[in-house]
Amino acid sequence: MALWKPDPTFYASPRDAVSAPPEGLAYVAAFDRTAAKPDAIAVLDVDPGSDAYGTVVGWTDMPYTGDELHHFGWNACSSALCPYSPHPHVERRYLIVPGLRSSRIYVIDTKDDPTAPKIIKTLEPGELAKRAGYSRPHTVHCGPEGLYLTALGGANGQDGPGGIALLDHTSFDVLGRWEVDRGPQYFAYDAWWHIAHDVLVTSEWGTPSMIEDGVVGELLLGRKYGHALHFWDLRKRRHVQTVDLGDEHQMALELRPAHDPTKQYGFAGVVVSVEDLSASVWLWHRDGDRWAATKVISIPAEPADAAALPPVIAPFGAVPPLITDIDLSVDDQWLYVSCWGTGELKRYDVSDPFHPVEAGSVRLGGITGRAPHPAAPDLPLAGGPQMVEVSRDGKRVYVTNSLYGAWDDQFYPDGVGAWMAKLDSTPEGFTLDERFFPHGDDFRGLRPHQTRLQGGDASSDSYCYP
Amino acid sequence: MKEGSLAALVALGAFHGLNPAMGWLFAVARGLQERSRALVLQSLPAIAAGHAASVGAVAVLVALTRSVVATQAVAIGGGVVLVGFGLWRLLSRRHFRWVGMRISLWQLAGWSFLMSSMHGAGLMLLPVLTAGAKAPAGHDHGLHASGSALSTGVFVTAVHTLSMFVVAGVIAVVVYEVAGLAVLRRAWFDLDRIWAAALIGAGTFSLFTAM
């Protein structure tokens, strides 16, 4: 049943959204690498006043095994208030949860019992393949007129191209392929938009054959993974421009556009440069009528004894930072950068997006560092800060430690483990919350990936009004 | 045209103007995007024009039909259509779909036309249109009658749209200048359902008065 007044979690502008109340629950996708047990959505209590704070308080198991839950998103968000296709009386209550390996998509209802969400619909891989020609669904974004779902792979025997499928936001049926004219675009990964400018941006990882059994050294050194951003006309669904970051910059992944709808810039993280193993963050911006991208952050590799390194990077004698996720606060002031290789979460003040200023860093895990959490100082951690999620008010930052099953095993061959951490972020400081450290058996042997916060978070909503 | 009908036309115009989905919100969004009140004001006539085209099409069609078919038949037929459309609006979960914020004033008028038509804005005027003055006796058929029907249609559209335009304009300017969009969270009631109820009510009224 629709609501009489707009869903209270919808905000017209990012300025309003910053005043949203703190989240009470967090939803975390967790998967079983062995595909022996079902993957699950873990529900965590994130209310500091609660006795169960920092613990997993609910599980929703998937009915199958081997899905590899990864990213997911809400059925509706603040974009429902957009003036051209308004439907503010739908509820934010369903999580759209794709299985990255199985290509299955689950729709999960969080309303009746938020700590035990129920699966209400399962889209089989054949539906995505038949209607849109895609597989390996990845990122979900709630648009004003439907759900946008990026997919890494082609279907029906094709490895690519990957692209975007549109889903109906009431029935959740796959409506079809989004692209009318994809131009030279072949690789897919993330997609997001400047919604008030009718601009969509996509990034590039690789096709399923390039990633599903781990990163392929020859392809990486041969500079074959994605290294470009694509700009599209959101209304006409046409490719407008490719901005190549340079083929040494392998794997352009997360896209974080400014939330302010009057702005046309955003940040993209690049995993690794094959020239010096550094990682980088790029700013895309307008350059006259065209788009351009400028490298604004570069993080160098850290030298290490080859004997201490896993085979995949041992020949290089250094630990690459591996920027695998970034997240931008709703006020567009703070950018969080995950260095999953070195085990570091960096914070930058990006008030001037062309000149980020580092404003805090926390070490956790890392290929050689194995930095512990202050809540368990004797426990060396594997993995590193990976998926980052920021609360709407910008005060709390959540991280989980798994990247992607096959890649976890390459970079952390003795086991990536499972942990989640929370940081308190204020203008004065950026520190770990010692009360929040679910880890190990708390996750039942599953590896945690993306976090979604109840009511929305910094990477879930887009706004049509400044 | 009777005074009651005129009042009803104005009231329905105000009701349509009040609905954020009918356009004032789009005008505000365009203004906020460029920080320009002028853009808010420019957008409103385009939105009103699209609305007028949608309402006018129905008004003229009804008026012309009335000039050749008995009023009662028009009222009954229209009433049935109206109740059916209202039920569909009430029960269907489909939303109006449109993509794009950066559009010209012509496209904005087109958007408004589609939005109004999808919502059955013109249909809602049916009771007013069928309750209007009877065509003069002895001139039921022929050019004179259709000419007068046409002018009735135009008159109805003009009065209704003027009312819609004034209400939408006042709200747009007040929200842009003073109230701010945070008001949406509290004040944006689901007018679609009230709207559907109004359609069904108008259809029922039309049927009752005709029989």
Residue A194 lies in a domain: yes
Residue A459 lies in a domain: no
Say if residue B137's pLDDT is above 80.
Answer: no
Residue A1 lies in a domain: no
Interface contact flag, B95 A11, Cβ < 8 Å: no
User: What is the reported pLDDT for B1?
Assistant: 58
User: Binning pLDDT at 50, 70 and 90, where does residue B139 land?
Assistant: very low
| Number of domains chain A contains | 1
Residue A168 lies in a domain: yes
Residue A5 lies in a domain: no
Q: How does pLDDT run across B75-89, given as a tens digit for each residue?
A: 888 888 888 888 888
User: What is the reported pLDDT for B120?
Assistant: 85
Mean pLDDT per 10-residue segment, chain A (466 residues): 83 96 98 97 98 98 97 96 89 97 98 97 97 97 94 95 95 96 98 96 98 96 97 96 98 98 97 97 97 98 96 95 98 98 98 98 98 98 98 98 97 97 96 98 97 97 95
What is the C-alpha separation between B81 and A65, in angstroms, rounded?
51
User: What is the reported pLDDT for A5?
Assistant: 87
Q: How does pLDDT run across B149-162, given as a tens digit for each residue?
A: 788 888 899 999 99
Yes or no: say if A342 and A412 are a contact pair by the CB < 8 Å rule: no
Q: What is the CATH number of the domain that holds A177?
A: 2.130.10.10
Say if residue B144's pLDDT is above 60.
Answer: no
Which residue from A minimizes the CA distance to B47? A84
Q: How does pLDDT run across A294-344, given as a tens digit for each residue?
A: 999 999 999 999 999 999 999 999 999 999 999 999 999 999 999 999 999
Say if residue B132's pLDDT is above 70.
Answer: no
Interface residues of chain A, partner chain B, Cβ below 8 Å: 2-6, 8, 10-13, 16, 81-89, 143-146, 170, 195-198, 234-235, 261-262, 464-466
| Residue range(s) defining the domain that contains residue A102 | 14-453
**Given CB atoms, is B174 within the 8 Å cutoff of chain A?**
no
User: What is the reported pLDDT for B136?
Assistant: 44
From chain A, the residues in CB contact with B93 under 8 A are 2, 170
What is the C-alpha separation between A145 and A76, in angstroms, rounded?
10
Interface contact flag, A234 B188, Cβ < 8 Å: no
User: What is the reported pLDDT for A49?
Assistant: 97
- Output the six-digit token pair for B193: 């359902």
Which residue from A minimizes the CA distance to B93? A170
User: What is the reported pLDDT for A403?
Assistant: 97
From chain B, the residues in CB contact with A16 under 8 A are 181-182, 185
Say if residue B93's pLDDT is above 80.
Answer: no
| Residue range(s) defining the domain that contains residue B164 | 3-210
Q: b/e for B160-184, b at 16 or more Cβ within 10 A?
A: bbbbbbbbbbebbbebbeeebbbeb
Interface contact flag, A145 B32, Cβ < 8 Å: no
Q: How does pLDDT run across B179-207, given as a tens digit for each residue?
A: 888 888 888 888 878 888 888 988 888 88
Q: Which of A211, A208, A212 is nearest to A135 (CA)?
A: A208
Q: How does pLDDT run across A418-446, given as a tens digit for each residue?
A: 999 999 999 999 999 999 999 999 999 99
| Number of domains chain B contains | 1
Residue A212 lies in a domain: yes
What is the C-alpha separation between B9 and B3, in angstroms, rounded?
10
ipTM: 0.84
